[in-house]
A and B are shown apart, each in its own frame.
Chain A
Amino acid sequence: MVKKSLRDSAGADDSAGAGRLFRVRPIRQARRESVPGHGLFQTRREQQWVMAQLRLLYHWPLDKRRQEQLGSDLDFSKVHYRNETFYELRLDDEHLHQKNLRLFFWIHEARRTIWMIHGYWKKTNRLDEAVKTLVVRRIGSLKGGIQDGSIT
């Protein structure tokens, strides 16, 4: 039910929102995890470098063709899992203490908001299901919050 109504509202608002830049927002848990020394990042510099990279997402193009173009540069991939669609961004740079930082996003097109859901360091493929389960769970909870108005 929640999913359907959100999708409907996305379609309705989409034409009005076209051309506006996206907002990028972390969910509560992602914000908590990103505090240096509390899981995701080791240093403040690393955290701020990633935040700077996220500013590039303001310009995320909506239509599919251009999305793929941006995807090739920023190394995005679309993930479908349990009837949910989200995006995975891979970052790899000397500013990071490990290789292959993966960040997961859910896009709320109606409000032109890119929600950062989760981040983790990719080590093996074995955790994939657990990670996707966590991301989908958080998206569900976020949608619930948007629906009941506790997240504006």
Chain B
Amino acid sequence: MSAATKLTKLKRHEDQRHGALSAVVALVQMDPHARADLIVYLKALNEAQAAKDVQEQEYLLKAILEIMEVDGPEDGPDLAGWEAEAKATVAGRRAAQELAGETQRFFAVYQRLKAQSGLDTIRKVARAAGLSPTTVQAIEKQRVKPQFRTLQALAKGFKVDAGVLNR
């Protein structure tokens, strides 16, 4: 064995020892609640390994890593800032444009059906659709095309097929 190989092996061995020592120190210094959480995850990891569920193992490993992280929470943007972050790239802008087009089409049909059906207030739409007025108000005010389940309820209120609102 060459001197370089010997040194490499020694270094690897020292790194492993150092890693193990750091992990033990982290465990000793850890907040007792965090240690209890860690036990929950280790038990779940055993079960996931026995079940050979790779996806769950990945999830649990991420959770374990998070417990071991030392950096605390930091301030972040609210939803508007978060959305702006998501739209900052070319792909993000393209996705946003597609979604905006879809939302625009939905509202065009929604307003037409609302006028045609004589359901001229939020309360009337909500009652006919079996939704809460808050939900209908939120959809109209925020201009959000709702998820399909809500869309089906609206279609029922307007007495049309859900596909009419989902183009």
A55 interface residue (CB < 8 Å to B) = yes
A37-73 Cβ-contact flags toward B at 8 Å (1 or 0): 0010001110111011111101101000010011011
B45-60 Cβ-contact flags toward A at 8 Å (1 or 0): 0010000000110011
B135 touches A73 (CB 8 A): yes
Give every chain B residue within 8 A of A127 (Cβ-Cβ). Answer: 44, 56, 59
Give every chain B residue within 8 A of A44 (Cβ-Cβ). Answer: 86, 89, 91-92, 94-96
Also in contact, A72 and B132, with CB within 8 A (given A52-B145, A93-B148, A130-B40): yes
A55 touches B142 (CB 8 A): yes
A131-146 Cβ-contact flags toward B at 8 Å (1 or 0): 0011001001110110
A86-108 Cβ-contact flags toward B at 8 Å (1 or 0): 00000111100000000000000
A54 touches B73 (CB 8 A): no
Name A35's closest neighbour in chain B (CB-CB).
B86
Q: Which of B66, B79, B149 contacts A51 (CB 8 A)?
A: B79
A150 touches B73 (CB 8 A): yes
**Inter-chain residue pair count (beta carbon < 8 A):** 143
Cα(A144)–Cα(B44), bound, Å: 27
B144 touches A48 (CB 8 A): no
A78 interface residue (CB < 8 Å to B) = no
B76 interface residue (CB < 8 Å to A) = yes
Q: Which of B56, B95, B147 contacts A92 (CB 8 A)?
A: B147
Q: What's the minimum C-beta distance from A149 to chain B, rounded to whole angstroms?
A: 10
Q: How many residues of chain B get a CB closer than 8 Å to chain A's CBs? A: 53
Give every chain B residue within 8 A of A133 (Cβ-Cβ). Answer: 37, 40-41, 63
B141 touches A59 (CB 8 A): yes
Give every chain A residue within 8 A of B72 (Cβ-Cβ). Answer: 141, 144-145, 150
B131 interface residue (CB < 8 Å to A) = yes
Name B89's closest neighbour in chain A (CB-CB).
A44
Cα(A49)–Cα(B100), bound, Å: 10
8 residue pairs, one from A and one from B, having the closest CB atoms: A145-B73, A69-B132, A44-B95, A59-B138, A24-B79, A73-B135, A45-B95, A93-B147
